[in-house]
Amino acid sequence: GMGCEVTVTETEAHPLRRVLPAAIADAVTGLHRARGVDVRTGVRLERFERQGDFVVATDARGAALSARTVVVAVGMAPDTDLVERAGLKVDDGIVVDAFGETSVPGIYAAGDVARRPARADGGSCRVEHWTNAQDHGAAVARSMLGVPTPHTPVPWFWTHQYGTNIQAAGHPQGPGTLTVEGDLEALDFTALLHHEDRLTGVVCAGRAREFKALRTRLDAT
C-alpha cells in the first residue's frame, strides 16, 4: 500500500498453515499475490548479511534475495529454564491446571508461557495471542486471590488483511472434514471443521456476526 516491492518467504508449503486449513491459507495467499506481493513458499532462509544499503538473505539452496528493509517473523519459544530448574512440570510451556496452578502447589503461571487445559477431554493448548494473555492472566489472578476461576475457552484469533477481517477459533488446522459456505476466493465465507462428528474449528472471513455465534457454540462443546 506504500508503493514498495514486497517479497514474502515462507518455510511451509502454505503460509498460515500452522493455524488455518490449506485451502483457506491458499486463499489468503492469493489475496496477497493479487495485490502484487511476491510470495515464495518452501524457502528456508539461513543467513542475512549487510551489503551497503541492502540486506542480502540467503536460503538453504544458496539463492539470494536483497532488500533495503527486512522483517523477520519466526514465532517464539517459551522461556522455561527457571521453572525446569525449580522442578515444575514443563511440556512446550509451563503445565498448569484450569486455575493456572502449576505442578507445585501455590505457584501459578499465565499467558503465552502456560500450557493449560483446553477441553474436558484431556486436551491442552499453549496460546500465543494477547487476548489469551489478558483473559488467562485475569482468571489466574482471581484464583491466586482465593476466588477459584477456571479458564478453559477454545483458542481464537483474528487478523486484518487488506481490509478483510479473518477470524478463527478452535483448531481449524487439525484433522477432520472441512465444510465451506460462501466464496473462498472472495474471502467471504464461513468454514466449519468437524472431527468424528464434533465441531472442532471455525474460520470466518467478513462474517463477524456468524463467527461470534459459532465461537460461543465451540465453547459450549
- The CATH number that applies at residue 171 is 3.30.390.30
Conformational region of residue 38, where left means phi above 0, alpha means psi within -120 to 50, and beta covers everything else: beta
Residue where one domain finishes, among candidates 144, 165, 189: 144
Q: Are residues 176 and 138 in the same domain?
A: no
Q: Are residues 176 and 215 in the same domain?
A: yes
Query: Domains in the chain: how many in total?
Result: 3
Residue where one domain finishes, among candidates 67, 94, 109: 67
- Supply the pLDDT for residue 121: 56
Domain assignment of residue 150, yes or no: no
- Please count the other Cβ atoms lying within 10 Å of the Cβ belonging to residue 6: 15
Q: Are residues 166 and 212 in the same domain?
A: yes
Residue 87's domain comprises 81-144
Q: Supply the CATH number for residue 14's domain.
A: 3.50.50.60
**Collapsed DSSP state (helix, strand, coil) of residue 81:** helix
Domain assignment of residue 134, yes or no: yes
Identify whether the C-beta of residue 188 lies closer than 8 Å to the C-beta of residue 205. Answer: yes
At position 213, the amino acid (one-letter code) is: A
- Supply the pLDDT for residue 122: 62
Only one residue has cell 514498495, namely 4
**Tens digit of pLDDT at every position of the chain (221 positions):** 888 999 999 999 888 888 899 999 999 999 999 999 999 999 999 999 999 999 999 999 999 999 999 999 888 889 999 999 999 999 999 999 999 999 999 999 999 999 999 865 568 889 988 889 999 999 999 999 999 999 988 889 999 999 999 999 998 988 899 999 999 999 999 999 999 888 999 999 999 999 999 999 988 87
Domain assignment of residue 151, yes or no: no
Domain assignment of residue 56, yes or no: yes
Alpha-carbon span 159 to 31, nearest angstrom: 13
Alpha-carbon span 34 to 64, nearest angstrom: 24
- Supply the pLDDT for residue 135: 94
Q: Are residues 176 and 127 in the same domain?
A: no
Alpha-carbon span 116 to 201, nearest angstrom: 18
Which residue, among 132, 88, 124, 120, has the nearest Cα to 106 in the 3D structure? 88
Domain assignment of residue 73, yes or no: no
Q: Are residues 123 and 162 in the same domain?
A: no
Q: Are residues 98 and 121 in the same domain?
A: yes
Q: Are residues 107 and 56 in the same domain?
A: no
